[in-house]
Amino acid sequence: AGRPSARRGPMVAQLAGLAGMAGNLVSTLVIARLLHGIGWTAAFAGSALAGAVVLVLLLLFLKDHPEGHEPEPFPHRGAAYVRRQIAASWREPGTRLGLWVHFTTQFPAMVFLLLWGLPFLVEAQGLSRATAGELLTLVVLCNMVVGLVYGQIVARHHEARLPLALGTVGATALMWAVTLAYPGERAPMWLLMLLCAVLGACGPASMLGFDFARPANPPERQGTASGITNMGGFVASMTTLFAIGVLLDATGDDYTIAFSCVFVLQALGVSQILRLRKQAARRERERLVASRVETVHVPA
């Protein structure tokens, strides 16, 4: 029963990410139209109301477990228990590897989509806001497509996790280097489209971090390990968002210098991934062997 579940894990994770990006895309398109039609106050009030309706529906119909599979009561164990869970999860090389994979892969696309992509495309590349918006949408669409591909690959070939993650980091670094160093003031449209398509792989690659943390921890620590992993990309994103702003102010809006900080964080992340990969692989093999021995053991 464990093997099919292990195969389904990466695909389920990517499908969850795909659903999130689909919601991102739909909400962006809807809110953009509402802003032009009814204004900011009514549009965001309607968005808040829709969120409240979804919350009520979830409370009414979402179940925490399948019928007939009620979990055992979980007593309150206090702050000391939480600290032990965090410490035990952190000691696992797979958890730390998952964090650094998430750190290194997620932030280039997150930074581009959240804040700096639009001004880069409009101010540095001379595109209209409408065209820049279409390129940002391309990032989201590619994210959805690549997520399905990565999920299928990892479900069938578990050892493909690290090559996919490092390959995405390498492709992202290459595209940013070519775009920023392109001769002349502006990069051609085909290059910007290729950059956005590659950035679309960053989200699915970041989900691979959870595929390192999950097998490294027992079921009771899965939530803790996933939370630690999830911190990686957002720490990197917030750091890069701030660094780009500081560098733009310091250089008089030189986007080439400002966006070069992406390479610094990628180099840091890759160095940590390479440092931890063998430890995590060895520990994962040990846990797999122990699990198989426990499964086939027959008491005397």
Pick from 125, 143, 127: nearest CA to 199: 143
What sign has the CA pseudo-torsion 213, 18, 164, 158? positive
In one-letter notation, the amino acid at residue 296 is: V
- Domain definitions of the chain by residue range: 2-57+91-296
Q: Torsion over CA of 273, 177, 139 and 33, rounded to 10 degrees?
A: 130
Of all residues in the chain, what percent carry a pLDDT higher than 70?
Answer: 89
Q: Are 190 and 58 in contact (CB under 8 A)?
A: no
Query: pLDDT value at position 4?
Result: 45
Of 68-77, 156-165, 259-268, the one with minimum mean pLDDT is 68-77
pLDDT tens per residue, range 122-146: 999 999 999 998 999 999 999 989 9
DSSP states of 162-199:
HHHHHHHHHHHHHHHHHHHT-SSSS--HHHHHHHHHHH
Report the C-alpha gap between 149 and 92 in whole angstroms. Answer: 28
| pTM score | 0.84
Q: Give mean pLDDT, residues 195-212.
A: 95
> What are the angstrom distances between the C-alpha of 121 and each of 6, 134, 136, 179, 188?
41, 11, 10, 11, 11
Count CB-CB contacts under 10 A for residue 299. 3
CATH class belonging to 2-57+91-296: mainly alpha
Of 49-63, 103-117, 166-180, the one with minimum mean pLDDT is 49-63
Query: pLDDT value at position 250?
Result: 97
Q: Give mean pLDDT, residues 96-101.
A: 97
* Average pLDDT along the chain: 88
pLDDT tens per residue, range 147-167: 989 989 998 898 999 999 999
Query: pLDDT value at position 127?
Result: 96
